[in-house]
Structure 1
Amino acid sequence: MSQLLAEIEVMFIAGFGPISRSTETSAAFYLQALGLPLKPMEGNSDYLVTEEGALSGAKHFAVWPLAQAATSCFGTEQWPDELPIPQGWIEYEVRDLDAATQVLADKGFRLLVANRTEPWGQRVTRLLSPEGLITGLTFTPWLRQ
């Protein structure tokens, strides 16, 4: 086990999904071809999400538009040219987000978002993995009940 994992207690995978450059193309694949139980999220029709328990093996699966991922990480719809465009996202629910964020910062990782509270109440720290995945460490109150 790596030293990093020993310092951060990951409880479970909170969510996963692809990053989409085209909601229409992604919907054609995930909805029509694969038949996944995705629907537009209320108030955000480009974010295609499963309802809780609709897809076994994932707490939350969603197709996240690239422009929305960029806005979440950088405050603008444009992904920065100096960073690889992510193909997907994954979030790990951790026991202590403050401590996990500090461990990543101390180890020199570039944090895109550090321990921010999202409008929906989830707290998140985000960075890019070596493979280019948007990786979030999260504290999600409704997944802990």
Structure 2
Amino acid sequence: MERIGNIKILFVAGFGPIVRDADASHELYCESLGIPFKEESGGYLHTEGLDGAKSFALWPLSQAAQSCFGKEAWPDVIPVPQAWLEFDVESVEKATAELESRGYRMLVKSRTEPWGQTVTRFISPEGLLLGITFTAAMQEEN
């Protein structure tokens, strides 16, 4: 992958819809499509068993809000994302600085999550909750 400024994307770390109706999403992805998910607390369903992304997950909106803002409600002043997409990079800090220099407004800046992932998050022009991440466990798999 080509380096642009201080950003070098290594791989798609994860993708999935932001879930507002857990029952409807479960029906589609689990029952209709037969995707075998692991379930974490709060209704977070994920699988690392689909080719094309390191992880595919159904992320409840309340958990996305908690991750970005420290509370379960998404703020009215920021468009509600329809999906999330994460790119693992060599340096979250350098990529964050590069993106900010290009005018992107960060919701989360270079924070380390409890599971060890370092993440910056912002809303893309298309309305995705975009993450620039470094996930040590996924880096070791590469």
4+ residue runs over 2 A deviation: none
Q: Give the conservation status (yes or no) of the 8 Å contact 1:100–1:137.
A: yes
2:75 partner SS: coil
Q: Give the conservation status (yes or no) of the 8 Å contact 1:48–1:62.
A: yes
Q: Counterparts of 2:65 and 2:130 in 1: how far apart (Å)?
A: 13
Deviation at 1:45, TM superposition (A): 4.5
Q: Which residue of 1 aligns with 2:29?
A: 30
Query: Structure 2-normalised TM-score?
Result: 0.92
Q: Which residue of 2 aligns with 1:126?
A: 121
Q: 1:46 aligned to 43, 48, 69, which one?
A: 43
Q: Give the conservation status (yes or no) of the 8 Å contact 1:112–1:126.
A: yes
Q: Does 1:92 align with 2:87?
A: yes
For 1:1-145, list aligned pairs within 5 A: 6-7=4-5, 8-41=7-40, 44-50=41-47, 52=48, 54-145=49-140
Which structure 1 segments of 5+ residues have no match? none
Which structure 2 segments of 5+ residues have no match? none
Q: Counterparts of 1:45 and 1:122 in 2: how far apart (Å)?
A: 19
Q: Which moved more, 1:29-38 or 1:134-143?
A: 29-38
Identity of aligned residues (%): 52
Cα RMSD for the two superposed structures:
1.1
Q: Counterparts of 1:39 and 1:96 in 2: how far apart (Å)?
A: 29
Q: Give the conservation status (yes or no) of the 8 Å contact 1:37–1:55.
A: no
1:103 partner SS: helix
Deviation at 1:25, TM superposition (A): 1.5
Letter of the structure 1 residue corresponding to residue 43 of structure 2: D
CA displacement, residues 29-52 of structure 1 (integer Å, 9 cap, x when unaligned): 1000111121312xx1500111x3
Letter of the structure 2 residue corresponding to residue 140 of structure 1: T
